[in-house]
Chain A
């Protein structure tokens, strides 16, 4: 059974960077892509991009292309999302999600709340 466990909540100052981790288990990590999605308080879901867990290739949403880097560590089956130049608009819950090969739908992590405040 797919299980995605994300890192703990973070509080960051404006201008700082944040790196969120997503540790996967229950499937072959390199057999799927990992997507990242965020949700600001009271707002809808916003897709940020994905990483090919096997090759490390990435596709980023246009809104985040200049500020985001997605990486993965195949040894620990962990994906990371780093967002730079944080502003208060980046205060949100960040989710990872994946659909292993042969599965029908995406499983999501529990979410990581990132608060940007001075």
Chain B
């Protein structure tokens, strides 16, 4: 079955840049959505269609894409950004969703 691969954890100091990658064979054909999830809360979309940012999401969150890898970048990380981050996409035909395993961002 199709899978998306994320690093299990990323650690950065406040003010630094955090990069979380998501890899999958179908990513050149399908959009990626990035979600932030804090304990006890539903996921919140941070980036959609690879690079777009919903209104209300801080500008320090950005997305990029290159081949089979997409990246969520958080510039000037703040303590409030500590959370789990998930990428979500679809198989090559767009029939089935798939989530990455999630990345725990720790702000040191």
Contacts and interface: CB of A to CB of B under 8 A. Distances in A.
B is a partner of A: yes
A91 to B, nearest CB: 16
Most buried by B among A47, A59, A62: A47
A44 B102 contact: yes
Most buried by B among A35, A47, A104, A105: A105
A104 B98 contact: no
Given A44-B86, A44-B102, A45-B88, A110 B97 contact: no
Nearest to B97: A47
Contacts of A46: 99
Interface in B69-96: 86, 88, 95-96
A16 interface: no
Contact of B45 (A35, A95, A105, A110): A105
Interface of B is mostly: strand
A63 to B, nearest CB: 9
Interface residues of A, number: 18
A59 B96 contact: yes
A109 B42 contact: yes
B43 interface: yes
Given A45-B99, A47-B96, A105 B54 contact: yes
A50 B88 CA distance: 15
B9 to A, nearest CB: 13
Given A44-B86, A44-B100, A47-B98, 15 more contacts: A44-B99, A44-B101, A45-B35, A45-B86, A45-B88, A50-B97, A61-B96, A62-B1, A95-B42, A95-B43, A105-B33, A105-B49, A106-B45, A108-B42, A108-B44
